[in-house]
Amino acid sequence: MDRRKALKKAGLLAGATIAMPSMFSLLQSCKSETRLDWQPEFFTEEEAKTISALIDTILPATDTPGGLDVKADMFIDKVVAHTYDAEGQKYMRDAIAEFNQACKEKYGAIFPELSNSEKIEVLKDAEANSPKFNPGIWGTSVGEQEPVGFYRSMKSMAIWAYFTSEEIGENVLSYDPIPGTYEPCKPLSEVGNRWSL
Amino acid sequence: MANFNIDAKKDMTYDAIVIGSGISGGWAAKELCEKGLKTLVLERGPIVEHVVDYPTMNWDPWDMEYRGGLTPEEKKKHYKNIRSGWVGKDTEHFWADDAANPYTEEKPFLWLRGHQMGGKSLLWGKQTYRWSDLDFEANAKDGHGVDWPIRYKDIEPWYTYVEKFAGISGEALGLPQLPDSHFLPPMELNCVEKHVKERIEKNFEGRNLTIGRVAHLTQPHNGRGQCQNRNRCSRGCPYGAYFSSNAVTLPAANATGNLTIRPYSIAQEVIYDDTKGKATGVRIIDAETNEVIEYSSKIVFVNASALSTAHILMNSTSNRFENGLGNDSGELGHNLMDHTYRVGAIGKIDGFEDKYYKGRRPNGIYIPRYVNIDEKTKSDKFVRGFGYQGGGYRGGNPANVDTFGADFKDNILKPGQWEFFITGFAECLPYHDNKISLNKEVLDKWGQPTLTIDAEFKENEKALNKQIQEDAVEMLEKSGLKEVMGFDKEHPPGYGVHEMGTARMGRDPKTSVLNEFNQVHAAKNVFVTDGACMTSSSCVNPSLTYMALTARAADHAVNESKKLNI
C-alpha cells in the first residue's frame, strides 16, 4: 500500500491540511516528555512510546485502572513479537511510522511527544475517519469488511489487552468463571459491569 | 475412573474392531462391548481421558501467555483449520495437524478433523435434532440421489435409546418435520430471544422459535453433572455435562472390561479375504513407530469420519474390490454433502437496556424448517429446506464506540448493545460429482496417499441461501430490530462440518455402498455408521442420527453374528 493510502486509512489525511495549533496547545507550549520504563521485545523505543501514548489516551486511568496500569502496551508488544508473522510485523511497523509521520506533518512531532490536546485532536480525527468493524457471528465478521486502519485496529487491541488482563477481568468487570445457573433476564443493576468472560 | 486398556500387544484378534472413537465410533464401542464382544478401538491420535486430559478447561484469558493468540508456528500447523475462526490456544491441541495431514482442494473445501480419542465429539456444536420422514422420503419424492433404505419408524426407537443415555435437553413442539426427542428440561431463552420469538410466531404463520435442542445436561444424568454455563465446552467439560465419547460412551464401554483402545493407530486398510468373502481385520500404521500391524476380527466398524472412512475403504483394495472395498456401485467417495453455513441476518434492538443475563449458555435459538413441508409451503425456487440457529446477547464491539478517553472507558465497562442474529443451515443435495479421490502424488507424514476433495454447492443450495437471507432480514425487521444486515459468507462446503454421503446407504447395491443396516452390501461384516453412510443431508444437524444408526447397526451386527450370518 502506498503511503498516501495508508494515511487515508488511518484517517490522518482528510482534513489535515490546516496545521494551526489550537489556542489551548499554544498555551501549553511544552511538549510531553516520555521515557520508556520497560524493555520492548519487538517495538523500537519510539514505537513503544507511540503505543503507550495511544493506550493512555484511549484508556486513561480514572477511578478505575487505565490501560497502562494493566500493562496493555507491554502485552501488545509481546503479542506482536510472538504471534505475528514477519509480514504482520512489518505492517505494524509501517503503520506506526505512517501515523507518526502524519502527526509530524500536522503538529511537528510524533504522537507521544504531542500535548494532550493535540493527541486528542489527532484521535478525534482518526475516529471520525476510520471505518468500523462489521458485526461478527461465531468467530468471524460478516459482510464486506472495509480495512479499519491502524487507529481502530490499535484501539481494538488496546481494549482486548485491557479486558483480558487479570486486574480488569477479575476485579473491574463482572467475573464469574463458574456461573452454575443461567439467569436469562436479570436486572442489569444486579450485575453491574459487563461480564469479563 | 479406571484407566483405559491400551495394551493391544497381547491380543491380535478381537470380536470386533472399531476404526475411530468420535461420536459414532464411541457409540459402536459402547454397544459392542456391552453386548459382550471383545472390542478393539483404533484411534489415530493420543488418548484423551475425560477430565485428566483437558489441560485448558479452567483457563481464563490471562492464564494464556498471548490470551488465546497462536504463534506463527501454531498457525502453520493449523493453516487450514484457522479458516474456521474457532482455533485458539484453548483448543488448538484438539484440532488435527494440517501440515502433517495434508489434503488437496480441487475446489475450496474446509476439512476440519479431530485426531484424538473422542475425535470431534470434543469440539462439536452439540445441536441434536431428530430427522423426520420429510428427510428420509426426500430423495424418493424429488428424485435426487437414491432412496433411503429406512424410514422414520425404523430409526425412531433408536433415537429414543440413544437420547436416554446421552441426555438431550429441549422443548417439545410436536412438529412433524422436527420430531421431539426424549427431552431433559429445556435451557431458557433470554428476554430479547423471547421478544423475537413472540414477534416471529405472530407475524409468520407456521414459523416457530425455540431454544436449541442440545446434548447438554440441564440436570444430573447417568452419573454426569449438569451444565454450569461456562461455555468452555470445546476444551473438554470437567462435569461431563455435554455429550462426548470421552465423557459418555467410552467410559461405558470401558466399564464392561471388553474394551481395548489403541492410540496412535492409523487405519490403513480393512483387510478383505477373497476366499472367505469377508473382511478379516484391519491393517494399521503405528503413528509413532511407523510399524505396520494387522489386527483380526469378525466384525469391523469403520467410523473414521465421513471423508476418512471413505478414504480407508478406497485404500482397501483386493482382487474382489479393485476400486475399494464395497465399491461395486462406483459411488464410494461420491455424493459428498455439507450444510451451507453463515448466511442470515443480524441486527440491534432497543428497549432492553436495563436487562442482562448471568451465565454463558452454550446454546442458542432454533427456527425449524418451514418451507417445502407441505403443498402450502412449497417453493417454486428450490427443493428441500433450511432451519436457523441464532441468539440474542449484549455485544457491540467497543472498538466501534466513536469516542475515547475517560468517559469512553467508563462506557465500555458497561454491557454493550443488545444484538440478535439468525444463521441458516440449508440442505445440500447429493451430487455424484461432489467427490473425494485418492491422491498418490501428495503423501502424508507416513507416506500414505492423501485425499483430493472436489465439491461445491450448486444452484439449489444457492437458491436456498438466497431465501435464507431474505427471510432472515424480513423476520428480524418485523421483530423490531434496527440496522438489520443480511449476510452470506458464501462459504464453500466443509465449514458446516457436517460432511456426509461418501459411502451412502441405499436399497440397490448397484447405486449405493451400504444396506439398510449400514453393512457394506458385498462385505456384510463391515459396517459404516458415521457421516459417510448418509443418503441425503436434511437441513438439521446430523450427529444424533449417526448415534441412532450406530446403535441400530451394532444391534444388528451382534444378532447376525450370533446367527452366524456374518
**Out of A128, A137, A186, closest to residue B421 by CB:** A137
Which grid cell is B51? 477430565
Give tens-digit pLDDT for B532-561.
Answer: 999 999 999 999 999 999 999 999 999 999
- CA-nearest residue to A65 within chain B is B409
Residue B7 confidence class, pLDDT cut points 50, 70, 90: confident
Tell me if B413 and A64 make a contact (CB, 8 A cut-off). Answer: yes
Average pLDDT over residues A187-191: 97
Q: What percent of chain B has pLDDT over 70?
A: 100
Hey, are the CB atoms on A75 and B397 less than 8 Å from each other? no
Query: B357 touching A, CB under 8 A?
Result: yes
Which residues in chain B are closer than 8 Å to A169, comparing Cβ atoms? 60-62
Query: Is pLDDT of B409 > 80?
Result: yes
| Mean pLDDT score of chain B | 97
Name the B residues in 41-60 with CB < 8 Å from any A CB. 58, 60
In 3D, which of B18, B45, B19 has the Cα closest to residue B32? B18
Distances from the Cα of A70 to the Cαs of A24, A46, A158, A180, B121, in angstroms?
A: 30, 20, 11, 29, 38
What span, in angstroms and rounded, lies between the C-alpha atoms of B137 and B258?
38
Phi, psi of B162 (to 5 degrees): -75, -35
- Residue range A108-131: mean pLDDT, rounded: 97
For chain B positions 148-187, those within 8 Å of chain A (CB to CB) are 187
- pLDDT for res B497: 98
Would strands B168-169 and B183-184 be described as parallel, antiparallel, or unpaired? Answer: parallel
User: In this predicted model, what pLDDT tens digit does every residue of B30-80 receive, in sequence order?
Assistant: 999 999 999 999 999 999 999 999 999 999 999 999 999 999 999 999 999
Q: Is B351 left (phi over 0), alpha (psi -120 to 50) or beta?
A: left
Q: Which residues of B100-109 are buried (b: 16+ CB within 10 A; e: fewer)?
A: ebbbebeeeb
Angle at B275 between CA B272 and CA B280, to 5 degrees: 35
Domain boundaries, chain A: 3-18+25-164
CB B253 within 8 A of CB B15: no
Select the more confidently predicted residue: B11 or A106: A106
Residues 421-480 of chain B with CB under 8 A from chain A are: 421, 423
Contact A188 B191 (CB under 8 A): no
pLDDT one-digit tens code per residue, B79-131: 999 999 999 999 999 999 999 999 999 999 999 999 999 999 999 999 999 99
CA-nearest residue of chain A to B486?
A: A143
**Residue B69 with chain A: CB contacts under 8 Å:** 79, 82-83
Residues 272-331 of chain B with CB under 8 A from chain A are none
Task: Give the pTM.
Answer: 0.94
High-pLDDT (> 90) share of chain B, %? 98
- Measured between CA atoms, how close is A185 to chain B, in angstroms? 5
- DSSP characters over B148-179: -S--HHHHHHHHHHHHHHH-EE-----BTTB-
Number of H helices, E strands in chain A: 8, 3
Q: How far apart are CA B551 and CA B32, in angstroms?
A: 9
Query: Is B238 at the interface with chain A, CB within 8 A?
Result: no
Residue B241 pLDDT greater than 70, yes or no: yes
CB contact under 8 A, B358 and A186: yes
Contact between A135 and B85 using a beta-carbon 8 Å cutoff? no
**Considering only CB atoms, which chain B residues are within 8 Å of A194?**
394, 412-416
User: pLDDT tens digits for B180-228?
Assistant: 999 999 999 999 999 999 999 999 999 999 999 999 999 999 999 999 9
Biggest CA pair distance of chain B: 81
Helices (H) and strands (E) counted in chain B, each on its own, are 11, 20
pLDDT of A138 reads: 86
Question: What's the pLDDT band for B399 if we cut at 50, 70, 90?
Answer: very high
Chain B residues in contact with A126 by the CB 8 A cut-off are none
Q: What integer pLDDT is reported at residue A139 of this predicted model?
A: 80
How far off is chain A from B354, nearest CA to CA, in Å? 5
Q: Give the nearest chain B residue to A168 (CA atoms).
A: B413
How many CB pairs (< 8 A) connect A and B?
Answer: 177
Check pLDDT > 80 for residue A27: no
- Give the Cα-Cα-Cα angle B127, B130, B135 (nearest 5 degrees): 115
Residues of B in contact with A187 (CB under 8 A): 354-356
Separation CA B437–CA B106 (nearest Å): 10
Q: Is the pLDDT of residue A4 over 90?
A: no
DSSP state of B388: E
Of A82, A132, A186, the CB nearest to B71: A82
DSSP percent split of chain B into helix, strand, coil, nearest 5: 25, 20, 50
With CA atoms as reference, report the closest residue to B526 among B331, B362, B375, B309.
B309
In chain B, which residue's Cα lies nearest the Cα of A61? Answer: B406
Task: Examine the pLDDT at A2 and tell me if it is beyond 70.
Answer: no
- Chain B residues with CB under 8 Å of A83 CB are 66, 69-72
Local confidence band at B2 (pLDDT 50, 70, 90 cut-offs): low
B351 touches chain A (CB under 8 A): no
> Are the C-beta atoms of residues B21 and B245 closer than 8 Å to each other?
yes
CA A110-A157-B228 angle, to 5 degrees, is 160
The answer to whether B144 faces chain A, any CB pair under 8 Å, is no
pLDDT at A18 over 50: no
- Which residue of B65, B360, B409 is in closest CB contact with A59? B409
Instruction: Give the ranges where B438-542 is alpha helix by DSSP (H).
Output: 459-477
User: CB distance A60–B409 less than 8 Å?
Assistant: yes
Q: Is B354 near chain A, with CB under 8 Å?
A: yes
Is pLDDT at B274 greater than 70 in this prediction?
Answer: yes
In angstroms, rounded to a whole number, what is the distance separating the alpha carbons of residues B278 and B320? 10
Under 8 Å between Cβ of B219 and B185:
yes
A191 and B405 within 8 Å at the Cβ level: the answer is: no
Cβ–Cβ of B399/A152 closer than 8 Å? yes
The pLDDT value given to residue A140? 84
3-state secondary structure of B258: coil
ipTM of the complex as predicted: 0.94
| Chain segment A74-92, per-residue pLDDT in tens | 999 999 999 999 999 999 9
Cell numbers for A72: 496493555
Over residues A105-129, the mean pLDDT reads 97
SS3 A82: helix
Domains of chain B (ranges; CATH) run 13-54+74-127+243-338+435-453+500-562 (3.50.50.60), 168-225+340-426+458-488 (no CATH)
Q: What is the per-residue pLDDT for B328?
A: 98
